[in-house]
Amino acid sequence: MLLLIGKRLLSAIPSVIGVLVVTFLLTRALPGDPAAYFAGPAATPQAIAEIRKSLGLDKSLPEQFVVYVKDLARGDLGNSIATGRPVLEEVRSRLPASLELTLLGLVVSVGIAVPLGVLAATRPGSWIDHSCRVITTAGVSLPAFFTGLLLIYVLYYLLGWAPAPLGRLDIFNSAPRDITGLYLVDSLLVGDLETFWAALKQLLLPAFTLAVFTLAPIARMTRASMLEVLSSDFIRTARASGLSPGKVVYAYAFRNAMLPVVTTLGMVFSFLLGANVLVEKVFSWPGIGTFAIEALIASDYAPIQGFVLTMALMYVLLNLAIDVLYIVIDPRVGFEA
């Protein structure tokens, strides 16, 4: 197990280095001048030149990259021009909000898609199977930001069932004591149930928006994998041995069908990390995606590079977790690796 983890981490190093180089070059290719944005519309060319020099933008690209790598080796991701704060502090304060939204969206999606896929596979051609196809088609067809706006219009504006989409908490509640940065977890750790329910209410609508976006691939893969396993020889043998249908489906078929589903979950989680950028903007969610969009508009290099580097490291850790989960589900994978 440790040897496998070490190999995966070593193999991810070239990918992370490639992400650093490409991100650095692409940010410099963005239209706009960060020095001019920071100086303001009334600034003189001399003032803009001085700001550009203070930001290190007057140096050549190779020199700028060497400085960036040296700062990165010290754990310094630079400072944001827009906020004036270190990028590392911004990422630490905003990343928990994005993770909480993404994880809850994934939980809701799995809680709906996996049972739906299993039921569709065990009852092919039934109304459940047809409903599964309709739901997955709708989930693929609707962009995440459109689904969010539609849910806000119906559930908040028309029906008044959902709270106002104004961030992680409404104006009547204060944030719990910062322990993990996840409001649901922190409020439970300190025993503040009122804040927990308030945070959960604010989370449900954006989380369901992300869940709708990812329902289709999970449900389809679950259905296809279950159909393949249910038609295999060992399942026919289990049924011929007199085992109950529930034990055959859930104890034998479902476990053997999990590997493709876990692979799909990894891809879906990466999709969610990209989709929550727009969802955060729609719901005024103070996450790292909103921070990245604001930095992109302002041509603020350091936050964009910090955002992409954070996403790359999260993808590495996600792939590592999937590899470990493969071994937990089927120990034979570890021997093959």
pLDDT(304) > 60: yes
Rounded CA separation 91/4 (Å): 30
Question: 239-273: per-residue pLDDT in tens?
Answer: 888 888 888 888 788 888 888 888 888 878 877 77
Higher pLDDT, 29 or 109: 109
State how far the alpha carbon of 145 is from the alpha carbons of 47, 153, 267, in Å. Answer: 40, 12, 20
Please give the single-letter amino acid code of residue 138.
A
Structure tokens at 91: 């990422």
Q: Which residues contact 157 (CB under 8 A, 6 or more apart)?
A: none
In this structure, what DSSP letter does residue 126 have? S
Name the maximum alpha-carbon separation found in the chain. 86
CATH topology of domain 87-336: MetI-like fold (1.10.3720)
Residue 304: partners with Cβ closer than 8 Å, 6 or more residues away: 23, 27, 292, 295, 296
Per-residue pLDDT at 330: 66
Q: Which of 123, 134, 130, 330 is nearest to 227 (CA)?
A: 123
pLDDT category, 196, cuts 50, 70, 90?
very high
Which helix or strand (DSSP H or E) is residue 242 part of?
A: none
**CB contact at 8 A, 218 and 117:** yes
Q: Answer whether 98's CB lies under 8 Å from 293's CB.
A: no
Domain ranges of the chain: 87-336
Q: Is the pLDDT of residue 168 over 60?
A: yes
Tokens matching residue 234? 């060992």
Task: Return the pLDDT at 1.
Answer: 61
Helices H, strands E: what count in the chain? Answer: 16, 0
Instruction: Output the six-digit token pair for 273.
Output: 């990390």
State pLDDT tens for residues 52-69: 787 777 788 888 888 888
Q: How far is CA 161 from CA 129, 148, 156, 157, 204, in A?
A: 30, 15, 6, 9, 11
Mean pLDDT of 30-53: 74
Q: Per-residue confidence at 200, pLDDT binned at 50, 70, 90?
A: very high
Predicted model pTM: 0.80
Separation CA 210–CA 282 (nearest Å)? 12
Mean pLDDT is highest, among 13-27, 86-100, 256-270, 306-320, for 86-100
Q: How far is CA 303 from CA 106, 252, 296, 324, in A?
A: 26, 48, 8, 31
- Judged against a pLDDT cut of 70, whether residue 108 lies above it is answered with yes
Q: Which pLDDT value is given to residue 335?
A: 47
Q: What is the mean pLDDT of residues 222-232?
A: 88
How far, in Å, CA of 110 to CA of 119, rounded? 14
* Three-class secondary structure of residue 63 per DSSP: helix
pLDDT at 16 over 50: yes
> What pLDDT, in 10s, does the model give residues 133-145?
888 887 777 787 8
Tokens 């029906």 correspond to 159
pLDDT at 245: 82
CB-based contact 66:43 (threshold 8 Å): no
pLDDT at 331: 66
Nearest of 307, 120, 289 to residue 210 by alpha carbon: 289
